[in-house]
Amino acid sequence: MKLTGSEIFVESLKCEGVKTIFGIPGGVVLKLFDVLHQQNDVEVVLTRHEQGAIHMAEGHAKATGKAGVALVTSGPGMTNIVTGLADAMMDSVPLVAFTGQVPTSLIGNDAFQEADNIGISRPCTKHNVLVKDVKDLATVIKEAFYIANTGRPGPVLVDIPKDVTTESAEFHYPDKVSLRGYRPTVSGNRFQIKQAAGEILKAKRPVIYVGGGAVFSGAANEVRELADLTQIPVTMTVMGLGSFPGTHPLCMGMLGMHGTYCANMAMHEADLLIAVGARFDDRVTGKLSEFSPRARVIHIDIDPTSIKKNVHAHIPIVGDVKVVLKELVQVLSSMDGNPTSVKAQRRPWLKQVNAWSAEHPLAYQQEGKKQTKPQYVIDKAYELTKHKAIVVTDVGQHQMWAAQYFKSGLQRTFLTSGGLGTMGFGFPAAIGAQKAYPNKTVLCITSEGSFQMNLQELAVAAIYKLPVKIILLNNQFHGMVRQWQDLFYEGRYASSDLGNTPDFVKLAEAYGILGLRSEEPADVEAVLKEGLKHKGPVMMDFAIDRFENCYPMIPAGGAQHEMVLEDPPQLKTARKPSRKKGEDADAVLPA
Amino acid sequence: MEHVISVLVENNPGVLARVAGLFSARGYNIESLSVAPTPDATVSMITVVTSGDEVIIEQIMKQLNKVIEVLKVVDLTEEDHIERETALIKILTKQAQQRDEAIRIAEIFRANIVDSTPQTYTFEVSGDAGKIQAVINRLKPMGIKEIVRTGRIAIARDAL
Ligand SMILES: Cc1cc2nc3c(=O)[nH]c(=O)nc-3n(C[C@H](O)[C@H](O)[C@H](O)COP(=O)(O)OP(=O)(O)OC[C@H]3O[C@@H](n4cnc5c(N)ncnc54)[C@H](O)[C@@H]3O)c2cc1C
Ligand SMILES: Cc1ncc(C[n+]2csc(CCOP(=O)(O)OP(=O)(O)O)c2C)c(N)n1
Ligand SMILES: [Mg+2]
């Protein structure tokens, strides 16, 4: 049977099991939206900005593990999703973004709303394709989903000219793809795995360093088996959180720039690193020349380019985390040595690790009458939602506090923008995650800087009745920027003071959303409880200590073990925010 | 060190931009680059000459392999191979004496004179980079008007 390109598009989405797409229409994609409008299998969420659409698709994808889908028009529609594509590329988020294009006959003529979608998106997609002939459309879509979801996941852009949406072709959705240039390696080399097992048995101070790859692979059980069997302490990157229970005795928490003292010290002193789907990002390694100086490295990653890129791997293993760890655990269990001897052998190292952890645990002090500490709000939110919530964060101090204090016990329940660090990601991504799981509690932990970058999507939360719980840690600062200025720019707050932020309670109310405000520590729990109980979306605006800094912190360019653990003395004395004339922030500070 | 890498790619529009973009985005050198069809119409061959230490070359190979439309990547520098480049060199030959000299140089280097006008000769010379440089050096005193080079191509020698 012959179908139009638009019908092929919709039928293909159905074949992929897509239930929701996010987007905004425009001239060249009207036909696609028209066909979508006349069916009920694929729901269109009309966002208020294309950046909202692409981050919602990311949130949907991060929560479910399956490619999120966005549909936007040519020109400005496409350029508005570029940040989301780059974000997804960095964080390996599976996405298929459909962009409209001017009719094939006009391409290259500077036609109305023409942009070189393929050229613009090439460096920030895993793959992209311009569909020139309606006959190719189904195959291109099939391949796009396949590429996005397999191997190291990532965003794929499919550019569809207007005439391709209207012309007809025979529809046949392929069962299989054959891409001769794309065959990800899934199972690891047996010999290398045996070598790795040998190293593990020899090691005296080993660390398991778990990254996002363990999440994409769904390998929480395997990570746990490896740790339990070998009694090796575990640390996670911000992207790996949830892969190992935060409450497990072998868990050292997050590592890196704002990681725990314990995790960073253990990394520094280790004689063996078992990197599991982690890419030795500079926020993790700190100064490379002093990174884990005594460690041999086993590196498991599905993407060969991640291996030996920043840090040399003595035993590289290309493959899927879950498959490789299964085999590694099998090999280890069949080797000599009984569990009690492993425990005995590991005792001195674990004793040292526990000592570090006791020496400088994550801590804050909430005094009753003083200002609310952001960590206190997060801690309370964690207590109230333990292991039941999906936490989605924006970017800044609040993100790092959330990573530190939310001891996620499950994968895909801590969603954040790590690699690109995209402010404005959090709220739309939370909406996307909520759309995927309408009955779960979804918390959006944000701050006024990030939130104001995509607040227009409040309309979507309200209209689609998506009960996202917004926890806005309001410091009226680009807090993370202010922290760097405090530490490295002698406290000159150049363009980091957000001063006149809007009244977020009223703002929420303007969209028909419940707004709650917490002004002091005594309010925190009540506001959280009321917000969590409420059936619809909620904006909870927490006035917090404006000058709280996030520690530990490895200063940029510093070595792993050179952490700053608290405000240096000069910061403990009074601080005055510098404000330009005419900016009267106090006027809108909650009284 | 210099490496000659051949990259077999799908013959799709935009593939060259993908490969070239990869080099520029990651700050890898391109010393020369040539693209041409192969006997299989669906496949093209890109030959890139690049340079870098071992770690960089390993990354380049892996990054190239990661491109979906790349089918095969071979670092020819690691094996016995033959390299060729062709140059077209236009020289000024106003005096008869220069013309005689030009013909002698062509003979010595087994270059061809493929075009001539009353004022110029055009040389075609093929060989490795060293030979082409030698010809250019010899012709320079006569006055070179223009040089066009193909960029290097290379092929592996098969074992006997
Ligand atoms: C303000 C700010 C502060 C930050 N501070 C920190 C910090 O203190 N600590 C920290 O850790 N991060 C921090 N980050 C995040 C940091 O920038 C990186 O995003 C993060 O460290 C990368 O995590 P990862 O190594 O797990 O890699 P990811 O980006 O998650 O990459 C995953 C890796 O796994 C591989 N992979 C994918 N799928 C599979 C599979 N199935 N099998 C095997 N391998 C697979 C991929 O090829 C890739 O190499 C911060 C970010 C911001 C914005
Ligand atoms: C789109 C974007 N622009 C700028 C930055 C640089 N940046 C990193 S953190 C930060 C401040 C974040 O402020 P806010 O959202 O209020 O969070 P806070 O640090 O106060 O918790 C800025 C400006 C960024 N990460 N993303
Ligand atoms: Mg802020």
Q: Would you call B17 and A305 a contact, using CB atoms and an 8 Å cutoff?
A: no
* Active-site position among A126, A142, A162, A373: A162
How many angstroms separate the alpha carbon of residue A422 from the centre of ligand 1? Answer: 14
Question: Does residue B72 share a domain with residue B107?
Answer: no
pLDDT at A329: 96
Chain A residues with CB inside 8 Å of B66's CB? 303-305
**Residues A53 and A70 sit within 8 Å (Cβ to Cβ):** yes
User: Is A193 a residue whose pLDDT tops 50?
Assistant: yes
Judged by its nearest atom, the ligand closest to the C-alpha of residue A495 is 2
User: Is residue A113 among the annotated active site residues?
Assistant: yes
Question: Does residue B21 share a domain with residue B45?
Answer: yes
Rg (CA), chain B: 19
Nearest-neighbour CA in chain A from B79: distance (Å): 22
Q: Write down the residue that tokens 């016995």 correspond to.
A: B80
Is the Cβ atom of A242 under 6 angstroms away from ligand 1?
no
Half-sphere exposure of B86 (CA within 13 A, CB side): 9
Residue ID of nearest Cα to ligand 2 atom 23: A478
Nearest-neighbour CA in chain A from B20: distance (Å): 11
- Of B41, B57, B79, the residue that ends a domain is B79
Q: Tell me, what amino acid is at A46?
A: L
- Reported ipTM: the value is 0.94
Q: For chains A and B, count residue pairs whose Cβ atoms are closer than 8 Å.
A: 35
Q: Would you call B62 and A147 a contact, using CB atoms and an 8 Å cutoff?
A: no
How many other C-beta atoms can be found within 10 angstroms of the C-beta atom of residue B14?
Answer: 16
User: Is residue A480 among the annotated active site residues?
Assistant: yes
Q: Would you call A308 and B10 a contact, using CB atoms and an 8 Å cutoff?
A: no
**Residues A401 and A391 sit within 8 Å (Cβ to Cβ):** no
For residue range A406-442, list pLDDT tens digits in order: 988 899 999 999 999 999 999 999 999 999 999 999 9
Chain B residues with CB inside 8 Å of A179's CB? 68
Question: Does residue B93 share a domain with residue B148?
Answer: yes
Q: Would you call B65 and A126 a contact, using CB atoms and an 8 Å cutoff?
A: no
Q: Write down the residue that tokens 């590991």 correspond to.
A: A346
Q: Tell me, what amino acid is at A300?
A: I
We report the CATH number of the domain holding residue B141 as 3.30.70.1150
Q: Would you call B21 and A308 a contact, using CB atoms and an 8 Å cutoff?
A: no
For residue range A56-113, list pLDDT tens digits in order: 999 999 999 999 999 999 999 999 999 999 999 999 999 999 999 999 999 999 999 9
Question: Does residue B100 share a domain with residue B49?
Answer: no
Q: Write down the residue that tokens 């071979």 correspond to.
A: B74
User: Is A530 a residue whose pLDDT tops 60?
Assistant: yes
**Residues A258 and A552 sit within 8 Å (Cβ to Cβ):** yes
When pLDDT is cut at 50, 70 and 90, the band that residue A576 belongs to is low
Q: Would you call A305 and B70 a contact, using CB atoms and an 8 Å cutoff?
A: no
Question: Does residue B72 share a domain with residue B86?
Answer: no
Question: Does residue B114 share a domain with residue B73?
Answer: no
pLDDT at A573: 66
pLDDT at A109: 97
When pLDDT is cut at 50, 70 and 90, the band that residue A580 belongs to is very low
Average pLDDT over residues A232-244: 98
- Of B46, B79, B112, the residue that ends a domain is B79
d(CA A464, CA A46): 9
Pocket (CB within 6 angstroms of ligand 2): A 394-398, 421-424, 447-450, 473, 475, 477-481
pLDDT at A590: 38
d(CA B149, CA B147): 7
Question: Does residue B62 share a domain with residue B89?
Answer: no
pLDDT at A1: 82
Range of the domain at B36: 2-79
When pLDDT is cut at 50, 70 and 90, the band that residue A585 belongs to is very low
Select from A189, A301, A496 the residue to mutate for testing ligand 1; criterion: most ligand atoms less than 8 Å from CB: A301
Q: Would you call B62 and A305 a contact, using CB atoms and an 8 Å cutoff?
A: yes
Which of A6-20, A110-124, A257-271, A565-579 has the lowest average pLDDT? A565-579
Is the Cβ atom of A133 under 6 angstroms away from ligand 1?
no
Q: Tell me, what amino acid is at A213?
A: G
When scoring A101, A149, A305 by the number of chain B Cβ atoms within 10 A, the one with the most, hence best to mutate, is: A305
Question: Does residue B74 share a domain with residue B20?
Answer: yes
The per-residue DSSP string of A86-135 comes to HHHHHTT--EEEEEEE--GGGTTS--TT---HHHHHGGGSSEEEE--SGG
Q: Where are the beta strands (DSSP E) in A378-490?
A: 389-393, 414-415, 441-446, 469-474
- Which domains are delineated in chain A? 2-170 (3.40.50.970), 190-359 (3.40.50.1220), 374-588 (3.40.50.970)
Question: Does residue B49 share a domain with residue B27?
Answer: yes
User: Within its chain, how far is the Cα of A261 from the centroid?
Assistant: 23
pLDDT at A577: 53
Question: Does residue B88 share a domain with residue B60?
Answer: no
Residue ID of nearest Cα to ligand 1 atom 49: A279
Query: Of ligand 2's atoms, which has the minimum distance to the CA of residue A453?
Result: 1
Taking the Cβ of residue A346 and every Cβ of chain B, the question of whether any pair is shorter than 8 Å is answered with no
Name the residue among A119, A180, A309 with its Cβ closest to that of B59: A309
Select from A372, A394, A423, A476 the residue to mutate for testing ligand 2; criterion: most ligand atoms less than 8 Å from CB: A423
Residue ID of nearest Cα to ligand 2 atom 20: A479
We report the CATH number of the domain holding residue B6 as 3.30.70.260
User: Is residue A39 among the annotated active site residues?
Assistant: no
Select from A55, A392, A450 the residue to mutate for testing ligand 2; criterion: most ligand atoms less than 8 Å from CB: A450
Question: Does residue B63 share a domain with residue B16?
Answer: yes
When pLDDT is cut at 50, 70 and 90, the band that residue A570 belongs to is confident
Number of compact structural domains in chain B: 2
3-state secondary structure (DSSP) of residue A9: helix
How many angstroms separate the alpha carbon of residue A514 from the centre of ligand 3? Answer: 21
Nearest-neighbour CA in chain A from B83: distance (Å): 26
Q: Would you call B66 and A123 a contact, using CB atoms and an 8 Å cutoff?
A: no
Mean pLDDT of chain A: 95
Alpha-carbon distance values, A567 to A134, A571, B111, B143 (Å)? 61, 6, 74, 71
Taking the Cβ of residue A107 and every Cβ of chain B, the question of whether any pair is shorter than 8 Å is answered with no
Q: Would you call A118 and B25 a contact, using CB atoms and an 8 Å cutoff?
A: no
Question: Does residue B32 share a domain with residue B74?
Answer: yes
User: Is residue A38 among the annotated active site residues?
Assistant: no
Nearest-neighbour CA in chain A from B157: distance (Å): 25
User: Is residue A16 among the annotated active site residues?
Assistant: no
pLDDT at A309: 96
Residue ID of nearest Cα to ligand 1 atom 15: A418
pLDDT at B1: 87
pTM: 0.96
Per-residue burial over A82-101, b if 16 or more Cβ lie within 10 Å, else e, is: bbbbbbbbbbbbbbbbbbbb
Residues of chain B below pLDDT 70:
none
Q: Tell me, what amino acid is at A587?
A: A
- Of B79, B98, B124, the residue that ends a domain is B79
